[in-house]
Structures are given as C-alpha cells and as structure tokens.
Amino acid sequence: MSLLELNNIKKTYLLGNSVFGKRNSVEAIKDISLTLEQGVCLGIVGESGSGKSTLGKIILGLEKPDQGEVLFQGKHLHSLKAKELRELRRNLQVVFQDCYSSVNPRLTIGEIIAEPLRNYERLTSSEEQKQVQGLLEVVGLRREDIHKYPSQFSGGQLQRINIARAIALKPKLIILDEAISALDALVQIQILNLLAQLKEDFQLSYLFISHDIQAVNYIADQIAVMYQGEVVEWQDDMEKLEQLEHPVSKKLISSVLPSYPVYF
C-alpha cells in the first residue's frame, strides 16, 4: 500500500462574473494521478500558476477536489469523519513558504514547537520541555532558545523552528510548499541539508513543492513536472534529470543561472 495515492484529481475555480453575466472558470488541476511511497521524497516542480500549491492544499485537506480521491495511509482523506481525520493529521504535516506568518509572534519558541504535542500527547510540563529542547537541537538550534520569541530569530532560524514543529509528532509525510524559496541562497542549502538528514534519521517522506528544479534535484528521489494543472513529465531516476523532454522541463533547467549555488 502506498503512503499517498491520488486518483484522477480535478479542481476548478469559478472566477468573477463576465460582462455577459456568465462566470468564468479556471482548471487548476486537470486529472492528476500519482503515488508516493514511504521514505521517498517526491519533488513537484513547475512555474508559478502550474497548480502545484493547489495540489498540496488538496492533499492537506485544505481544499476539496471536484473529482477524484486522495488516499493517505489507505484512507480516503476527504470522506473521513472529524475524529478519524484528526488522528490521520498527526501523520501529515506541512512547512509553508512564509516562515514569519507561520508562527504566532506572541508565543515563545517553546510554545510554538509544543503546539502539536499539546494537541495529541499528554505530557507533563517537564516532559514537554525536554522534547521541545531536543527538537531544537535536532534542527540545529540551542536548548536555551526555548524561551525566546520569533522576532529574535532570522528567517532561516524561523524555518528551522517550523520544521521542528512539523517533526514533533514523527509524522509519516511532510509537505514542503516552497519551504526554502524565501531564504537566502546559502541558507537554502543549509535547510536542504537539514531536511535530507531528518529524512534519513526519522524515515520521513516528503512532498517537496518548488519552482526551483535545482533544489528539487538536490533532495528528491522522484520528480513530477507540472504545467497548467497537469503532470506533464515524471522521472524516477534523478541522475537522468537532464533527459527530461517536455518544453517546460527544459525551460526550468535552462533558467538556472551560472551565478546561483549549484546543487547538481
């Protein structure tokens, strides 16, 4: 059984009224099917507007598809009752692009990381503190940072905090939606190295959504190229990335600037 399975997913958004009173629509996702196995990182790459983030929201349950089914751990994600969905969500976490808006500035770092633990675990205060401090060390921060506030950290450090929160419950799958794109080039490499190490240490699976084909190549085991709501190309062997043939794949590869840090 695959960890994640998408079958014939479609999603259309209705836009504002046209001049003639008929509402226009845009097909964000056009009949996508794919699978993700345990312990694998699948890179979803595409230009802005390709539908990759919409697909991520559907997998997370934040958007409901108009057609098709999402199976996570063999269960139909969008047909579960609230109690079943809550239990399933502990194994499905996310790290978003904007590391600043992903945290509550009024909470300490300890409270931010402890949020999923408080939702799902019954820990004493000392047990919670010990786990949070351990998570801080795992992502390369200090145990003493537990009492600080988000404003005292850089963007890269905040993303490490978001990652610590995401792995707190030892989930099966983490969706990384443009999780490094807002960071400086050197920090991007550091976060990619951290994610790669965590994947190995915790036997994690990733859905790595990005417009940066170099970053996807660095961390992913498989790659799906999206264009206008469709998966137009798939590659299981990342060593053959340069053999991708679709025009949008070639465009993404050729757009890599020589001055940019090379992940290949």
Q: Enumerate the domain spans of the chain.
A: 102-170
pLDDT at 195: 97
Question: In percent, how much of the chain has pLDDT > 90?
Answer: 84
Q: Which two tokens stand for residue 213?
A: 């084909």
Going by pLDDT thresholds of 50, 70 and 90, the confidence category of residue 20 is low
What pTM value is reported for the model? 0.92
Residue 263 above 70 pLDDT? no
* Ramachandran bin of 31, using left for φ above 0, alpha for ψ from -120 to 50, beta for the remaining angles: left
User: How far apart are the C-alpha atoms of 198 and 140, rounded to whole Å?
Assistant: 11
User: How far apart are the C-alpha atoms of 80 and 86, rounded to whole Å?
Assistant: 9
Higher-confidence position of 264 and 160: 160
Residues 141, 161: contact at Cβ < 8 Å? yes
Q: Which of 207, 179, 177 is nearest to 36 (CA)?
A: 207
Q: Encode pLDDT of 104-133 as tens digits.
A: 999 999 999 999 999 999 999 999 999 999
pLDDT at 18: 60
Residues 233, 249: contact at Cβ < 8 Å? yes
Q: Which residues of 177-204 are buried (b: 16+ CB within 10 A; e: fewer)?
A: bbbbebbeeebbbbbbebbeebbeeeeb
pLDDT at 264: 44
Residue with tokens 């009173």: 21
* Ramachandran bin of 103, using left for φ above 0, alpha for ψ from -120 to 50, beta for the remaining angles: beta
